[in-house]
Amino acid sequence: MWAKFVSVFASFKRLDEDEATASGVSEGPGGAAGDQANRIIFVNRPQPQKFVSNTISTAKYSVPSFVPLFLFEQFRRYSNCFFLLIALLQQIPDVSPTGRWTTLTPLVLILTVSAIKEVVEDFKRHRADDETNRRKVEVLRGATWQLVRWQRLQIGDICRVLNNQFFPADLVLLASSEPQGISFIETSNLDGETNLKIRQATPETARLDNLAALADFQATIQCEPPNRHLYEFNGMLKETNTRSVPLALDQMLLRGALLRNTAWVHGVVVYTGHETKLMMNSTKAPLKRSSIDKQTNTHILMLFMILLALSLLSAGCSELWVRARHANTDWYLGLDEAQNANFGFNFLTFLILYNNLIPISLQVTAEIVRFFQAKFIAMDGEMYHAESDTPALARTSNLNEELGMVRYVFSDKTGTLTCNVMDFHKCSIAEIIYNRPGPNEKLEDTLLYQNLQRNHPTAPVIREFLTMLAICHTVIPEVVDGKINYHAASPDERALVMGAAAFGYVFETRTPEGVAVRLGAAGPASFAVLHVLAFTSARKRMSVIVRTPAGQIRLYCKGADSVIYPRLAGGPQHARYAQATLAHLEHFAAEGLRTLVFAVADIPDHVYADWSNTYHKASIAIQDRERKLEEAALLIENNLRLLGATAIEDKLQDGVPETIAALLKANINVWVLTGDKQETAINIAHSARLIHAAMPLVLLNEESLDGTRETLSRHCADFGDNLRKENDVALIIDGKTLKYAMGCDLKKDFLDLCLSCKVVVCCRVSPIQKAEVVELVSRATGAVTLAIGDGANDVAMIQRASVGVGISGVEGLQAVCASDYSIAQFRFLLRLLLVHGAWNYSRISKLILYSFYKNICLYVIELWFAIYSAWSGQILFERWTIGFYNVIFTALPPFAIGLFDKLCSPEIMLRHPVLYIPSQQGLLFNVRVFWIWAVNALLHSVLLFWLPMLLASHHVLWPSGKDGGYLVVGNFVYTYVVLTVCLKAGLATHSWTWVTHVSIWGSVALWFLFILIYSNVYPVVGVGAVMRGMDRMVFSSLVFWFGLLLIPVAALVPDLVVTVIHNSAFKSMTEAVRESEIKKRDPAALLAHPRHSWTYVRYMIRGMTAIKCLTETARLLQNVRSVFGRRSAAGAAADLELSREYPPHAAPFSPLASHSLSSVRRGHLCRGSSQVTL
């Protein structure tokens, strides 16, 4: 049986004898040609080359670099560059009508605020860096231990780290206080996992547990260059005249990890400072910009073009007025003698005059508002998870409003929809299903125990299966108060070990040489662990090679059925077991349970000896070690004998079905991307209310590119006119078919099919496939996408999505660290989107629109005054009042709107998810809405300028008949503008608070206070000479007070009338619900028959049309059973069995849905059989 494997080993050995070509490993420090990039370290000796310092810095700035770096960051923003240009133009003599400092002063003020924020944040980073760099560790110097600061640590140094201390650099473990060089570490700072991990020194260095041995120790370490892969390390250690020893992750102690339950360890430094894996992983997530930011930049660009056009037009009109009409006739004006009377000077003058059409304070206002919005998310007690003491967290504030525009949610399954708390549920052994003992059931009463006691024919298989459960893993036992606690790298492994313990097969201790277990009635036994072939996402299996107490070498292999079954040995009995186990696997998956298959092989000693030599040579390779190890593993993981399968239960998190149902009502499509089996994913989708029983399922399970192309074309044709329109159909696709579907020539058809389905579930997908699906939908649709996950395998899709949400679960914090927002439970996503998302979208939209409105309202008045003053370029307002308009007098209302305005109460938003649709559709901020606000501001500026000019034209500002000049009228107009724009903020506010009142009335009061003070500072302060006595002139005019009552009202009454008409005749759904809430009425009846805005009506019409079409399709589906082919009696019985698993209130299966599930269960694929014409 093993003869062919022996010949394979022999050929593999011959290939490996030329180490320079087979493994690329040199036994000396030089290495082969391919290893020139590898790092060579001389232990306990000076290094021949210089390596980076162990000093780390996470700060953005240093003292000398702060000014240039800060200014570079700030002037990457186009708006800041524009205002800097204006400030420079104002320095040209006789060009600026507003003085030299009116733009530079607010710009400097804004930059100063940003600089203070940067300094405060960076000071905290510097302080944390100093604290870290000044920590001390014991380092071997000569023959003594010396305390040395971390920042003085060098490559090749030997350190001693004590219990509960952090590792100061990336170390290779040499020895520890525990037997055989074992140590326990906690890596929560690296990946968030709090379970203990085991690290073990090689037997060759485990003896270095004393000063004398360490002082005499000299060796060379050859390892890979620094990289950011936390779970990979390849190297080798060689002492003089000894065999090279492979180094792997098991010998790696990473900076940031914590030593636990170990008195001390000795390690040699291999990576320092910013070359440690911790620091190389401290990169920022990709920069993301919200949709509103992108639109705002477009509007700013358009306004800039308008600004240039107005400046050119005004300069042209000025030139025409002077040269063509008045230069010769109005000689007394001295037009010929003016130094700046030319087109170029006039253009610059008007460019400066009109520059404030673009709000200078918008960027800093939006940043501050978003910062506090992020704080509100973190402070929301409704998203606090008391059990894990985890609040919600906004890791970025740039995407707050993007949460209100999500169209697609891509979700992981395990740990995201489910709890990721695994429970051993049942198992299949030799064609028999056994349940785990219940909480009140004795072991003696279980069928498995009885079969063992009665010496059932399958008893030897049962014992072998339970033995494998107890020893085929990497779990670490810890005895606390006489009770064994298991620390596992994954919840599945812990569940399997505890499942074995429930049947009396208890895993007790682990040593470097092996494991000790209690094998039920047989008592304790020890197994020598010879090799562990670790699990990877590519292998989808793990194996251990052990020597049994009887001296026999045995390989235990567990993994997915798709990788174990092809490696099974032949034979009729094996075939019978395999078919029965496969049926049980499908049954387990239909119940939503996670499955694994277990197999064993006995290995002859001579075969193992040959293989071990091959594996050793692969393990000391520096280049392509993983590939070579995989090739070596493939040689031994064959000719397996099936033992059985396990079923592990991973329950849904609380509130998941209700959350998904609400998301679907909010017009959000939910896609599930999981690595689990197809049947498991389908069942979870049913449990989570993502798929209902009557929903047709379109399954894509193809084995080839041509088959995938044919099936995609057929299904796209079946949808007909409803292609790319949402239909009540679920698409299920596996990872292999997805690989073909994501090819260039099939990508469009696949996307069309996905967008035609209401639900998409991708099964057996890899992390990169998750990211590719998210990126495909994001780019093709332009919609806002959200990816949510909890594990390291979700990081890629979280970073590719418009918004990434991490769940802080039991798989660590890698997903959280890569995310934009983090929550503790999936159910909190509903509040994050429907409440905070919708609120923040509305708030930021109004803030931006209002900021543009108030600037257009004031600064277009300069255009009207230019017309009035014969295009002179003169300003109507005092120069400092122009500069302070944005930063003082109208600064507070945008903050009130951006922080405290809300559409409806959170309870109403959550109870009626359809209220999310207006923000999702972008109805509150788009080109149309922007120009409505702009035109409204334009009309207000007309009234606010020409009405005061009309009053002033009769020279009746005071009873004496005196005329105060243009500046008096300018202050009249300025006061009316401030009052009008503040009241406009009130009209735009939906939810008034005391902050709203303070911001509106306080802004008006600030202007009056300013004019009182500023009118009396000259000559005490050398500014404001033209404003001296202005308060008495303005406030003594009855015309001013009359205009104060009349003109703002005249400007805002049309707005009020339009609002009343709109809310009466064209009331939107949101406005109607808000009105019902104010009146303390239940809006449920209103939502049953709403009076929507036309936009929403059109959306509902499309939705109702689709529903009607789907209803007709559902009727047609009852008549198409013949297309599914003949059905066996077993298949029909299986359908009946599966249908009983659903709740009594669920609708009966449609033929398509029933056929799809049964086809999966029988191993047949619904490639073309699930033909649906919609």
Residues at the binding site for Mg(2+) are: 412, 414, 790, 794
User: 224: which DSSP letter?
Assistant: P
User: 592: which DSSP letter?
Assistant: T
Q: How many CB atoms lie within 10 A of CB 21?
A: 11
CA distance 859 to 854: 9
CA distance 339 to 1039: 39
Residue of 358, 163, 171 lying closest to 264 (CA atoms): 163
Q: How many CB atoms lie within 10 A of CB 910?
A: 17
DSSP 1094-1106: HHHHHHHHHHHHH
User: What's the token pair of residue 579?
Assistant: 């078919």
Q: How many CB atoms lie within 10 A of CB 856?
A: 24
Pairing mode, strands 803-807 and 821-823: parallel
* Residue that is written with structure tokens 């058809």 in the block: 749
Burial class from Cβ neighbours inside 10 Å (0-12, 13-18, 19+) for residue 626 reads: middle
Pairing mode, strands 505-510 and 514-519: antiparallel
CA distance 2 to 14: 19
* Residue that is written with structure tokens 């989570």 in the block: 688
Pairing mode, strands 245-247 and 727-734: unpaired
Cα torsion 203, 204, 205, 207 to 10°: value is 80
Q: Does the annotation count 412 as an active-site position?
A: yes
Residues 6 or more apart whose CB falls under 8 angstroms from that of 790 comprise 412, 414, 415, 416, 420, 806, 807, 808, 809, 811, 815
Phi, psi dihedral angles at 172 (to 5 degrees): -100, 125
The amino acid occupying position 28 is: G
Residues facing residue 732 across a β-bridge: 699, 761
Pair 1066, 1094: CB distance under 8 Å: yes
CA distance 729 to 1046: 61
Secondary-structure breakdown of the chain: helix, strand, coil percentages, each rounded to the nearest 5: 50, 15, 30
**CA angle (340 as vertex; 337, 344 as ends), nearest 5:** 140
User: 539: which DSSP letter?
Assistant: T
Alpha carbon 759 to chain centroid distance?
A: 21
CA distance 807 to 420: 11
Buried b (16+ CB within 10 A) or exposed e, 691-708: bebebbbbbbbbeeeebb
Q: Give residue 1128's region: left, alpha or beta (phi > 0; psi -120 to 50).
A: beta
CA distance 16 to 673: 41
Residues facing residue 568 across a β-bridge: 640
Binding positions for ATP are: 412-414, 493, 535, 558, 594, 674-676, 764, 770, 793-794
CA distance 841 to 830: 15
The amino acid occupying position 150 is: W
Classify 468 as helix, strand or coil: helix
Question: What distances in angstroms separate CA 572 from CA 562, 577, 603, 841, one per listed residue?
Answer: 20, 9, 21, 65
Q: Which of 35, 157, 170, 412 is catalytic?
A: 412
The amino acid occupying position 789 is: G
As a whole number of angstroms, the longest Cα–Cα distance in the chain is 125
CA distance 899 to 366: 10
Phi, psi dihedral angles at 413 (to 5 degrees): -100, -65
Residues facing residue 432 across a β-bridge: 429
Active site residues: 412
